[in-house]
Amino acid sequence: MRRTLAAAAALLLLAGTVGARAPKKPKAPTATADRHVAPEIDLARWINTKPLAPADLAGTPRLVEFWTFGCVNCRNTVIAMREIHGLYAKRGLRVLGIHAPEFAHERDSAAVAAAVKAHGIAFPVGLDNDHVVFDAFKNRYWPALYLIDRKGTIRSTHIGELHVGTRAWSNFCAAIESTLAVPPPRRRS
């Protein structure tokens, strides 16, 4: 009886695998698949700067951070963002905060301005209350950082809190250094 049950189980197991295909291996990402052209940032309202147009940012390496003042993870990343601004702004990196509210009370521009002041944020902060830029980046996270090169290609991203002195910090700073090391294209005369 045991042999019959064992034989039947073996046949059922074998029958279940006949015709079944081995799962396909995912394709290895290509350099072009990993890099995407960043959408334009075209917002009417900014804090810490005059309104910036896409032409103002073209040809400039930039770091875009999506954040909202009510998010504790975003508040925990402010120190790293201020540090990046201090280290790299003089070397040509434009640091931009894009405030994309998660909740209704975060839509108040006076409250955003107060949070920017309270956190000592000196870099420009665009107000994206309707998530136009947030959605154009296909972003879903707060905080989310996008490092964009002079050609407008997203070179690196970081999702979640970023802290000075961590491995993620070192990796992101290395990506910034690499991006800044590429000289601007020569202008033809």
Confidence of residue 185 (pLDDT cuts 50, 70, 90): confident
Query: What is the SS3 assignment for 82-132?
Result: HHHHHHHHHHCCEEEEEECCCCHHHHCHHHHHHHHHHCCCCCCEEECCCCH
Q: How far apart are CA 81 and CA 119, in angstroms?
A: 11
Q: Which residue would you say has higher pLDDT here, 5 or 98?
A: 98
Map tokens 């070192």 to a residue. Answer: 170
Q: Which residue would you say has higher pLDDT here, 24 or 54?
A: 54
Average the pLDDT over each of 4-18, 20-34, 147-161 and give the range with the smallest value: 20-34
DSSP-derived letter for residue 42 is: -
C-beta neighbour count of 153 within 10 angstroms:
14
Give the 3-state secondary structure of residue 179: helix
Would you say 76 and 149 are in contact if contact means Cβ atoms under 8 Å apart? no
pLDDT digits (tens, 9 = 90+) for 141-178: 999 999 999 999 999 999 999 999 999 999 999 999 99
Q: What are 158's strand-pairing partners?
A: 145
Confidence of residue 10 (pLDDT cuts 50, 70, 90): very low
Q: How far apart are CA 23 and CA 167, in angstroms?
A: 34
pTM greater than the 0.95 cutoff: no
